[in-house]
């Protein structure tokens, strides 16, 4: 049995270049989000893109995985700031998500850099969204900040 199933729905009108759509959450966690090809490849103009949503999924998933691993090592993070930057590029003539670069800044009292680096590595192997991106290059750059 699955741990969880979550669903989102996109309603699209028109062709790719001039069309537009809305992404809706079935949980009500967010209001419908507007999406267009132009917001994906040119200027966002207050609209989202699949890559931005993938980045949101990756950053939140990694933050949870890292919080778990840090806790398993006996520490409690004051703050984990995880930024994901997802890149869409052309591969063999087809738009493809090629990278997801994670930047992590954390405040974890009494944790050493070595302990933090170990937790980062463990979280990278644990995060389900990182595994989803297995065909893309996923990088993690992390540092501990002073409280």
pLDDT digits (tens, 9 = 90+) for 32-77: 999 999 999 999 999 999 999 999 999 999 999 999 999 999 999 9
pLDDT digits (tens, 9 = 90+) for 91-102: 999 999 999 999
Q: Which long-range contacts (CB under 8 A, 24 or more apart) does 135-138 make?
A: 136/97, 136/98, 136/99, 136/100, 137/98, 137/99, 137/100, 138/99, 138/100, 138/101, 138/102
Contact 126, 95 (CB under 8 A): no
| Position 114 pLDDT exceeds 90 | yes
- Residue 52: what pLDDT? 96
Which domains can be identified in the chain, with CATH numbers?
A: 8-41 (no CATH), 50-144 (3.30.300.20)
Sequence-separated (6 or more) residues with CB below 8 Å from residue 96 = 88, 89, 90
């Amino acid at each position: 049995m699955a741990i969880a199933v979550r669903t989102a729905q996109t309603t699209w009108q028109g062709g790719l270049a001039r069309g537009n759509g809305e992404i809706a959450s079935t949980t009500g966690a967010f209001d419908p989000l507007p999406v267009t090809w132009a917001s994906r490849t040119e200027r966002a103009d207050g609209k989202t893109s699949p890559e931005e949503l993938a980045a949101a999924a990756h950053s939140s998933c990694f933050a949870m995985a890292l919080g778990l691993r840090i806790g398993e090592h006996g520490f409690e993070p004051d703050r984990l700031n995880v930024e994901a930057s997802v890149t869409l590029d052309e591969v063999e003539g087809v738009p493809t998500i090629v990278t997801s670069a994670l930047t992590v800044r954390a405040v974890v009292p009494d944790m050493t850099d070595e302990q933090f680096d170990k937790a980062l590595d463990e979280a990278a192997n644990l995060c389900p969204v990182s595994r989803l991106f297995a065909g893309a290059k996923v990088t993690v750059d992390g540092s501990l900040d002073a409280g």
